[in-house]
Structure 1
Amino acid sequence: MDCRGGIGVILDTLRDALMPACDVPECSREPELVVVEDGLALLCSRHLVDYLVAVGTEGSE
């Protein structure tokens, strides 16, 4: 009997329950804790780059 699929699903479920996700809605990537203007945020690397680009372009207008 091959149980690897079932165990993998259980481990994925546990990981998702214990690991936080990015603060951006609909994003489930693993985040980094970053300091933003309003305090702290959990952003994945992709959304962190988007945030930094947005902050950088605000000052140039």
Structure 2
Amino acid sequence: MRSPPSKKPKNLMAFWICIGVAIGCAIGTAIGNIAYGIAPGVAIGIAIGALTSKARH
């Protein structure tokens, strides 16, 4: 008998990088230069992803 699939994302790092890029695009649009928003967004996403993956293990 199979167990139901887990609804949690399997790769949290990729999930948080995507969230960071989305937030970075919003910030970049607000300041008028998307490139200046995406880079910190990716960095924030990597930091949060690393913290959550470290907390899971």
What TM-score do the two structures reach when normalised by structure 2? 0.33
Structure with a larger share of its residues in helix: 2
Higher relative contact order (CA 8 A, sep 6+): 2
User: Greater share of strand residues, 1 or 2?
Assistant: 1
* TM-score normalised to structure 1 length: 0.31
